[in-house]
Amino acid sequence: MKKSLMALAMFGAFAGMAHAQTAVQIYGNVDVGLIKKSGSTLQIGKRAANTLGFKGTEDLGNGLKALFQLEIRYEPDTGTVEATNRPLFQGESRVGLAGDFGMVRIGRGRPAYQETVAAFDPWHGLPTPVGFYTDLTVAGYTSQPLDPAGSSNNRWANAIWYNSNVINGFQFNSTVATKEANGGQAVVGNGTPTNPQFPANSEASANPFSISGTYNNGPAGAMIGYERNAVESKVWTLGGSIAPVTDLRLMLTYTRQDQGHTRPTNSKTKAWVLGANYAMGPGKILAGYGQKHPDGAAKTKQLSLGYEYSLSKRTYVYLDASRKKDITTASGALAIPSAVNQYDIGMNHSF
């Protein structure tokens, strides 16, 4: 009996140690609101991507940790997986190790360039049309042209990540993806509709890779990033931010893109965005102006204003207004309509 009690006590002690060394977190957010866009009826929609995630770490000893992250993206107004045809873990699906060498992960997620540049967008890198991230800050660049139709533009599958530790404010980040096919649709490119440059389910023409470097020191921050995707389109961005006073943050990005490998005309694009965030107690003003200029086409111009009010540390309400004009198509012609206004009001709760 004494031996049984001793064994039970030892088992409980070891179980407690294992539990103390492992941490798993459930997290996510719900963002929903009302959206009105030029030429469209009032709709229920979102400002930020809605997520449900699971992440955790396990202490392996000697400064080494195992880590994982799985993240579902969903539509709160219908309860369906985001865009219905996207993978279950659209947001993240990575596992890796972290230690004195930095962090290495394998799976699916945002490549280094996309992870870095989003931090210098005045709308926090949210994929909302009233913000600048997806269309101007990265000049409308697509990280995954050979993924299935409807896939996210800023994530890679079948990739390996390396992030260095932060040293004196500097950090280096890199991502390399395999060439393997992922069930994507055909890309006409420099071919024809009957003989596309990249047929359906094509492999990449070269290994996609993405790199970035960041510097953060008190009120100042800077970044440089470069990426080449599966069809060898290239993009690079320089960014900087400064907080001249405690409650004000100014940010600027400049981007160049080259699609010459798949587009015979309008293949080069340059863009810039100037943004600001100003906190006033529990409220925050968001503002930005930017331009995108494909060669041989009109300059797209965008002005956006927004306001966030925090009801608690995890809940805020928001109001946005944006105008974009001289919108162009891939051929360089003005879109119809060529000017769009968008307004939204809603609430975001994180957990």
Give the pLDDT score at 86: 84
Question: Whole-structure pTM over 0.85, yes or no?
Answer: yes
In this predicted model, which residue has the larger pLDDT, 318 or 329?
318
Give the pLDDT score at 8: 41
- What lies within 8 Å, CB to CB, of 254 at 6+ separation is 237, 238, 239, 270, 271, 272
Give the pLDDT score at 11: 42
The single-letter code of the amino acid at 286 is L
Mean of pLDDT values over 139-158: 92
Mean of pLDDT values over 166-185: 95
Using alpha carbons only, what angle is made at residue 250 by residues 270 and 237, rounded to the nearest 5 degrees?
Answer: 30
Q: How far apart are CA 31 and CA 76, in angstroms?
A: 7
Local confidence band at 165 (pLDDT 50, 70, 90 cut-offs): very high
Give the pLDDT score at 265: 85
The single-letter code of the amino acid at 316 is Y
Rg (CA), the chain: 22
Give the pLDDT score at 85: 76
The single-letter code of the amino acid at 280 is M
Q: Give yes or no for a contact between 180 and 159, defined as CB atoms under 8 angstroms apart.
A: no
| pLDDT tens sequence across 71-100 | 999 998 898 998 877 888 999 999 999 999
Give the pLDDT score at 10: 41
Mean of pLDDT values over 98-116: 97
Mean of pLDDT values over 266-285: 96
Give the pLDDT score at 152: 87
Local confidence band at 329 (pLDDT 50, 70, 90 cut-offs): confident
Give the pLDDT score at 33: 96
Domains by residue range for the chain, with CATH = 24-350 (2.40.160.10)
Alpha-carbon distance values, 59 to 20, 21, 99, 168, 343 (Å): 9, 5, 10, 25, 47
Give the pLDDT score at 334: 87
Q: How far apart are CA 267 and CA 295, in angstroms?
A: 7
Residue 14 has pLDDT above 50, yes or no: no
Give the pLDDT score at 102: 98
| pLDDT tens sequence across 233-266 | 999 999 999 999 999 999 999 999 999 999 888 8
Q: Give yes or no for a contact between 321 and 286, defined as CB atoms under 8 angstroms apart.
A: no
Q: How far apart are CA 233 and CA 343, in angstroms?
A: 33
Q: Give yes or no for a contact between 108 and 69, defined as CB atoms under 8 angstroms apart.
A: no
Residue 198 has pLDDT above 80, yes or no: yes
In this predicted model, which residue has the larger pLDDT, 154 or 264?
154
- What lies within 8 Å, CB to CB, of 119 at 6+ separation is 125, 214, 221, 223
Side-chain-facing half-sphere of 199: CA atoms under 13 Å: 2
In this predicted model, which residue has the larger pLDDT, 17 or 236?
236
Give the pLDDT score at 312: 97
The beta strands (E) that lie in the chain are given as 22-37, 43-45, 50-61, 64-74, 92-99, 102-109, 156-163, 170-177, 209-217, 220-228, 234-245, 248-258, 268-280, 283-294, 300-310, 315-325, 340-350
Q: Which two tokens stand for residue 59?
A: 């202490």
Local confidence band at 335 (pLDDT 50, 70, 90 cut-offs): confident
Give the pLDDT score at 150: 80
Q: What percent of the chain has pLDDT over 70?
A: 94
Side-chain-facing half-sphere of 222: CA atoms under 13 Å: 6
Residue 55 has pLDDT above 90, yes or no: yes
Mean pLDDT of the chain: 92
Give the pLDDT score at 181: 94
Residue 228 has pLDDT above 80, yes or no: yes
